[in-house]
Amino acid sequence: MDLISTSSESGQLTVETSSLIHADSSLIDADSSQCYSPSNKESWKSIVFQSIKEIEDFYGNYAYNTGFSIRSMLKSKNNSQNKKSDKVHYVRYVCNKQGFKKGSLLNPNNRPTSDSPVVIEFVKVKEKPEERVGCKAGIFLKLDEVLNVYKIYRWDVAHCHPLHKPEHLCYLRSFREVNEVQGQLALINSKAGMSMRTSYEVMGQGVGGTENLPFRFSDLKNYLMTIRQKEMVVGEATVIQEFFRNEALSKPSFYYDIQVDAAEDIASIFWADGIMQLDYSLFGDVISFDTTYRTNNQYRPLG
């Protein structure tokens, strides 16, 4: 389903897509041409959705044109009687700045009271700006068990932070994506010996600059590394583990550790022989020089 939303001077949004006919004429399918105002409940209370994908497309399209990024907050399979079912009954999408980071002083519950002693520590720490600032914007839907469709029952539109300008919409996190064509082009370039940075800039030249790409350099890097990890066959992992196992048997001081992710794929590898451990005990610091970073076909830092 392709949703096209445009803003009008009255603050309404127009959703234009292919229309579907329903037996209940009082309901408006999300696929039909419809003008609605998020702040006006009467304009959207009759809109229905056939699937969660339609909900995500609908709210994502609204968020993109409004100037904020979204994330999924709730997909509950508990029905109105709070019993588990096979289908999602409650859905909630929120602004990505919803809530607070754990321990954040932006959260009123974490702020010190007047009776609490104030401890000032002069420690220079480079901190990233907090992304979650307690925004309340979001959309709430529930499943109509009779009609088997999702209906909006609450829509909070107020944001407590500035929205993004139209020229910056391509950098919204929930809408940045390396599509299949761009990903395959990056893979072909890497096999030809081209670095990720050069490949990124070449793709940017095709659209008038890297600022016009629907993703950042970090997104391309993560995409390629994910592809490489999936391509790592069991044989390669077995060879590495066998090598480390033999080294540990022949050299008592040899130490290694392999970390895997949730999908049981190798995420990181660490090893240190006796000389490495002695050097560390004398100097304390570790410096790793990777001579193949961004140049090998596997994109693995094993220089």
Q: Are residues 158 and 303 in the same domain?
A: no
Q: What is the share, in percent, of the chain residues with pLDDT greater than 70? A: 71
Average pLDDT of the residues of the chain: 76
Q: Are residues 126 and 248 in the same domain?
A: no
Confidence of residue 303 (pLDDT cuts 50, 70, 90): very low
Q: Which residues constitute the domain of residue 280?
A: 232-303
Highest-pLDDT range among 11-25, 98-112, 278-292: 98-112
> Of 156, 171, 186, at which residue does a domain stop?
171
Q: Are residues 16 and 46 in the same domain?
A: yes
271-287 mean pLDDT = 82
pLDDT score, position 92: 93
pLDDT exceeds 80 at position 3: no
pLDDT exceeds 70 at position 204: yes
Q: Are residues 64 and 16 in the same domain?
A: yes
Confidence of residue 288 (pLDDT cuts 50, 70, 90): low
Confidence of residue 240 (pLDDT cuts 50, 70, 90): confident
pLDDT score, position 17: 37
> Of 155, 171, 187, at which residue does a domain stop?
171
pLDDT score, position 283: 82
Q: Are residues 191 and 59 in the same domain?
A: no
Q: Are residues 164 and 27 in the same domain?
A: yes
> Of 149, 171, 193, at which residue does a domain stop?
171
pLDDT score, position 175: 79
Q: Are residues 104 and 215 in the same domain?
A: no
pLDDT score, position 300: 52
Whole-structure pTM value: 0.56
Query: Which range among 35-44, 56-65, 108-117, 286-295 shows the weakest confidence by mean pLDDT?
Result: 286-295
Between 227 and 85, whose confidence is greater? 85
Q: Are residues 218 and 255 in the same domain?
A: no
Q: Are residues 46 and 163 in the same domain?
A: yes
Query: β-pairing, 47-49 with 28-29?
Result: parallel
Q: pLDDT tens digits for 123-177?
A: 555 566 778 888 999 999 999 988 899 999 999 999 998 888 887 777 787 778 8
Q: Are residues 22 and 159 in the same domain?
A: yes
Q: Are residues 158 and 209 in the same domain?
A: no
Query: Which range among 21-35, 99-113, 154-168 shows the weakest confidence by mean pLDDT?
Result: 21-35
The tally of domains found in the chain comes to 3
pLDDT score, position 285: 72
Q: Are residues 142 and 130 in the same domain?
A: yes
